[in-house]
Structure 1
Amino acid sequence: MWTVPKPKYRTGSCGEGEIAVNIGGVRVVLYGDVLSRYPDSRLAELLNCSPGNHEGISSLCDDFDPGRNEFYFDRDPDAFKCIIDVYYFNEIHIKPGICPICFIKEMEFWKIDQSVLDECCKSYLSEKEEELTEIANKVKVILEDLEPDRCVTCTQRCQRFLWRLMEKPGSSRSARVIAIASFLSVLVSAVVMCVGTIPELQVADAEGMLVEHPTLEAIETACMSWFTAEYLLRLASSPHKLHFVLSFMNVVDFMAIVPFYVVLSLTYFGTSSMMELTNVQQAVQALRIMRIARIFKLARHSAGLQTLTFALKRSLKELGLLLLYMSVGIFLFSALAYTLEQSHPETLFRSIPQSFWWAIITMTTVGYGDIYPKTTLGKCNAAVSFLCGVIAIALPIHPIINNFVVYYNKQKVLETAAKHEVELMELKSGRDVRRKKKFM
């Protein structure tokens, strides 16, 4: 509800204690006592400015009509309709369809502090500012790839060339070839690791133990040599080496390379007594299986995997609720199953912790059949448990899908906006060059 009379939209002259402003062709008559609520605003300063002070008036507005006592502003009238709300409600809402960044510039022009924005509009504004920051970062990356080398020393030029070659697949054809080779090496290494476990393809060593075929070992050695050379070149060419080493994906790369050399060292330098230890051999196998972590590097070149990861991060609350519901259901139905099945002489539910496994595979509708109820009440409990499991799993699906779609579309818009920004900058720079040549 309006607590004071609304601003008047009329063509006649304004009365005493009123001020007439023309905002982009829309004439509005405002009350002086209302404008005085914010004495530091532009309209309040204009109200207090004497009619004879033409210099002060011209500094506050774009034009002034002394005959009609009307002040003209070449501003957005729709944004101004939101601006004047602060004089009546002490808060401002950004209407749909108005760019929040442009609206902030309007508030700065009218000398209205951003603290009067409503909380919902502040969150919307912060979201838009984050998008602009992301666009600026993408534009910066694109410009860094396009600009020529300006390094002083030969070492700096070589470092920059290697960095582009190893980290920027779109910078040149050679960088694209290296990215494809890295992608194929990851796949070949994963396939070799899987195929090497097939007994028919393994060979017996001197002690009669089955080991990987020498051909597969040679392929794995070649892949690991490529991974090592790639990691060292990227580390050597990195402008921020500490940040490079601590990066999550680079930690994964390092952990995928190290097991190969640990196994090689144990085999070459280790004593016979050490190699006979079962725990050491199991540790070596565990280290070798860690090379499958190299597959996560594919996420660096896949926008879909990055989007899925972000969607899961944004959906941690929903996933947490899912785990909470499932945990409560597992505890409840496993306890009921243990209690109801105790009357059967051939019960498979020996304890409540053992019943947890049955509750998990039942609520997730896997149902291996290794543990199952035999009493009528136990079967009814099982039916209720898998129905509750289906409902609990289906609840967070929509928020997760929605987060995925929103983030994916947002990334597409940001990439398009960044490319358009770069194109505009190129057009502007070309126009400036032509203008300079024209006046030379």
Structure 2
Amino acid sequence: MGYGQILHQHRNEEDPVHLNVGGVRHEVDPNTLLRFPHTRLARLLRCQSEAAILELCDDYSPAEKEYYFDRNPRVFLCVLNFYHTGRIHMMEEFCVFSFSQEIEYWGIQEIHLSPCCGNWYHERKEYIEDRDWDVRSDDQQHPSFDSSFEELSALDKDLAKFKGAWCAEVRSYVWLRLEDPGHSRASKVIAVASLGLVLTSIVAMCVHSMPEFQRVDDNERPIEDPVLAVLEEICIACFSAEFIIRFIVAPSRRKFLGNPLNIIDVASILPFYATLALETADEDAAEENEDLENVGKVVQVLRLMRVLRILKLARHSIGLRALGATVRHSYHEVGLLLLFLSVGISIFSALIYFAEKEEEHTDLGTIPSGWWWATITMTTVGYGDTCPVTLAGKLVATLCIVCGLLVVALPITIIFNKFSKYYQRNKAMEGQCITKPERQDPELPYYNIRDLFTEAAYPFIGSLAFRNSASSAGDDTDASSLQDIETGSLANAEV
């Protein structure tokens, strides 16, 4: 009789069940396993054929009536304990996801976790899921805002796309110097120059709001200061050239246009060209019709959009990108916060209206005016420009303040925890200097703007400390110890 033709023979219900899990043999009372009929072992005992048995285990020995499972034998001890106690306990050394997969294989649900282990299990699982935000984002083909390690890994993938493309050598040469500030001296100069242009443009925009730099034309319309206008044109020309070059040499133009940092670049450049086009159209049509009399207001709005250039700093700051990632991954909590606020504002604006509508000297005689009051009250801002005057209105205000504290505090706590976890993770990854992943391209070092600044600043700080110590008679610190401190600081910065 062939192995595949042997049918599962019914055995005595009192005979123990022989289980071999990862090479460790167990004998279990079948009645113990049948206590939980939904589990894998209980279903295994109800099988009537060998084919059905082999669907639930990895191998079966008809002669010895032994079931073999190629699973973790240590986790199976927790599974056996579950059949005896009805609760499953977890050892701390187990990975929560590996343990979750194991108990799922054995047909045990997480609701059977013992309270002493359940809280720790779910907290640990949530922590690891939060730590792997960026991994899930990459799987969903969303841009990652994570630390420089993943960014450089993505840079390696981009370099691989240049193979076989047109002008691959030239494009990869330019791409590296634009994307990796630590690649070479030229890339460092480009990164510092780009950062300087961004800061210059932001300062010029702020200075333009000062009365000393505001100009008007013959028609009393505001115009740009000539010096600031030239400075603006130089910055825009550099921004435009940088964006066009990045677009031309990009290994994947679709991915390039979908990158949030590049979208920010476009949003910071377009207002200038839109303003220029509207001003030109206004000058051409000013003498023929008056339909464009409001173009000046549109131009002013577009000029204000130049503030978006501040976001260009995110290209040079890992911290800002980490902040963006945290906000992006907290959209559920932010939506919950807005929902709570909307419900509270709607309720308390109606209540304050009915409490104050009979009062003549009140600013809360309509529900829309109550929206503003409820918003600043629930968020505990309290400008004081509008306030209730009746006793009923003050009672409603008290209730609104208390509810605002509760409604705002709950989602804010969740968001804060996500911020804290993300920053701790980012800091820990940057601190793991020894365990940095190996690069496919050895000529790409792990650098960012902050590292370059630190490397340049530490020798200067160390020299100042040495001079101060030399001029101080009561200072016991000698030059050799200061040199050791400086050397240690430089070593930490380079690592």
TM-score norm. by structure 2 comes to: 0.62
Match of 1:160 among 172, 179, 194: 172
Residue of 86, 91, 98 corresponding to 2:94: 98
Q: What is the identity percentage for the equivalent residue pairs of Structure 1 and Structure 2?
A: 34
What is the aligned-residue RMSD (CA, Å)? Answer: 4.7
**Residue among 30, 54, 69 paired with 1:40:** 54
Contact 2:130/2:422 (8 A) holds in 1: no
Whether 1:285 aligns to 2:303 is no
Q: Confirm whether residue 272 of structure 1 aligns to residue 284 of structure 2.
A: yes
Tell whether the 8 Å contact from 1:338 to 1:352 is kept in structure 2 after alignment.
yes
Deviations 1:274-299 (A, max 9, x none): 59623222222222222211222323
Superposed counterparts of 1:252-401, under 5 Å: 252-268=264-280, 271-274=283-286, 277-401=292-416
Q: Which stretch shifts more, 408-417 or 355-364?
A: 408-417
CA deviation profile, 1:103-137 (whole Å, cap 9, x unmatched) = 699x7xxxx99484646899959949967957999
Which residue does 2:465 correspond to in 1?
none
Query: Structure 1, residues 313-367: CA drift from partner, whole Å, max 9, x if none?
Result: 4433333333333223323333333333334332333322223222222333333
The structure-2 alpha-carbon separation of the partners of 1:147 and 1:390, relative to structure 1 and needing over 3 Å to count, comes to closer
- Decide whether the 8 Å contact of 1:135 with 1:418 is kept in 2: no
Bigger shift: residues 312-321 or 229-238: 312-321
1:99 counterpart letter in structure 2: C
Q: Compared with structure 1, are the counterparts of its residues 225 and 425 closer, same or farther at alpha carbon in structure 2 (3 Å cutoff)?
A: closer
Q: What pairs up with 1:37-116 in 2 under 5 angstroms?
A: 37=45, 39-40=53-54, 45=59, 47-48=61-62, 77-82=73-78, 95-99=91-95, 114=105, 116=107
CA 1:159/1:217 → structure 2, altered by over 3 Å: closer, same or farther?
same
Contact 1:202–1:213 under 8 Å retained in 2: yes
CA distance in 1, matches of 2:294, 2:29: 86
**Is 1:163–1:238's contact at 8 Å kept on the other side of the alignment?**
yes
Is this contact kept in 2: 1:274–1:280, CA < 8 A?
no
| C-alpha contact 2:356 2:365 (8 A) present in aligned 1 | no
Q: Give the paired residue count.
A: 387
Task: Name the SS of the counterpart of 2:294 in structure 1.
Answer: helix
Task: Give the Cα–Cα distance (whole angstroms) in 2 for the partners of residues 288 and 146 of structure 1.
Answer: 38
- 1:169-204 residue CA offsets vs partner (Å, 9 max, x unmatched): 343343333233323322221221121021222233
What secondary structure, in the 3-state scheme, does the structure 2 residue paired with 1:40 have? helix
Separation in structure 2 between the aligned mates of residue 425 and residue 242 of structure 1, nearest angstrom: 24
The one of the two structures with greater contact order (alpha-carbon pairs below 8 A, sep at least 6) is: 2
- Residues in 2 aligned to 1:129 and 1:91: alpha-carbon distance in whole angstroms: 29
Contact 1:373 1:382 in 2 (8 A): yes
Query: C-alpha displacement at 1:403, in angstroms?
Result: 1.0
Give the Cα separation in 2 of the matches to 1:230 and 1:344.
Answer: 62
Specify the SS of the correspondent of 1:250: helix
Residue type at the aligned position of 1:257: I
* CA–CA distance in structure 1, aligned partners of residues 159 and 259 of structure 2: 27
Q: Which amino acid aligns with 1:179?
A: A
Distance 2:209 2:413 in 1: 40
Aligned to 1:174: 186
Query: Does structure 1 conserve the Cα–Cα contact (< 8 Å) formed by 2:282 and 2:295?
Result: no
Distance 2:132 2:332 in 1: 22
CA contact (8 A) 1:19 1:47 kept: no
Which of 178, 189, 206 is equivalent to 1:194? 206
- Pairwise CA distance, 1:159: 1.0
Return the alpha-carbon distance in structure 2 between the equivalents of residues 177 and 162 of structure 1. 13
What residue identity is the alignment partner of 1:45? Answer: D
Give me the TM-score of the superposition, normalised by structure 1.
0.69
Structure 1 residues 103 and 363, CA gap change in structure 2 (3 angstroms): closer
Distance of aligned partners of 1:186 and 1:301 in 2 relative to their CA distance in 1, 3 Å threshold? same
Q: Helix, strand or coil for the counterpart of 1:185?
A: helix
Task: Return the offset for 1:234.
Answer: 1.0
Structure-2 separation of matches of 1:239 and 1:281: 41
For 2:95, give the aligned amino acid.
C
How far does residue 257 in structure 1 lie from its aligned partner after superposition?
0.8
Aligned in 2, Cα 1:313/1:90: closer, same or farther, shift over 3 Å? farther
| Structure 1 gaps, min length 5 | 1-15, 52-59, 62-72, 427-440
Amino acid in the other structure paired with 1:168:
D
Residue 89 to residue 232, structure 1, CA distance change in 2 (3 Å): farther
